[in-house]
Amino acid sequence: MDEQGREPYGEVIPRVKQVRVGGKHAELIDCQDTSKAGMADRRTHQLIPGTIKANSTANIKAELGQSSDGRWRVVGLSIREAACTPPSS
């Protein structure tokens, strides 16, 4: 992004669909609402037209592990190809 003179713009709204916990491992599925996020010009901080897409989502899978200190930490993160529908707010 920086090489292209761009920076993130707006906000991504988390919409957690599912959490599974088994022992010291957990998986979280998030259908993020990205309809208010786009890219801005790094120099002017102005929105670049066409970079915000209405009704868009990102299907995210986060894998977490519980460390010896008891804290949960992200150990894997991926964007899944399948489309997703956010849960009702």
Which is nearest to 59 in space by CA: 24, 85, 26? Answer: 85
Q: What is the pTM of this model?
A: 0.77
Helices (H), the chain: none
> Residue 71 falls within a domain, yes or no?
yes
pLDDT mean by block of 10 residues, the chain; 89 residues: 83 96 97 95 95 93 98 97 83
* DSSP 3-state of 67: coil
Please indicate, yes or no, if residue 31 is contained in any of the structural domains.
yes
pLDDT of residue 63: 98
Q: Which residues contact 36 (CB under 8 A, 6 or more apart)?
A: 10, 11, 12, 13, 52
The pLDDT, as a whole number, for residue 1 is 58
In this structure, are residues 32 and 79 in contact, taking their beta carbons and an 8 Å threshold? Answer: no
In a domain, 18, yes or no: yes
Residue 13 belongs to some domain of the structure: yes
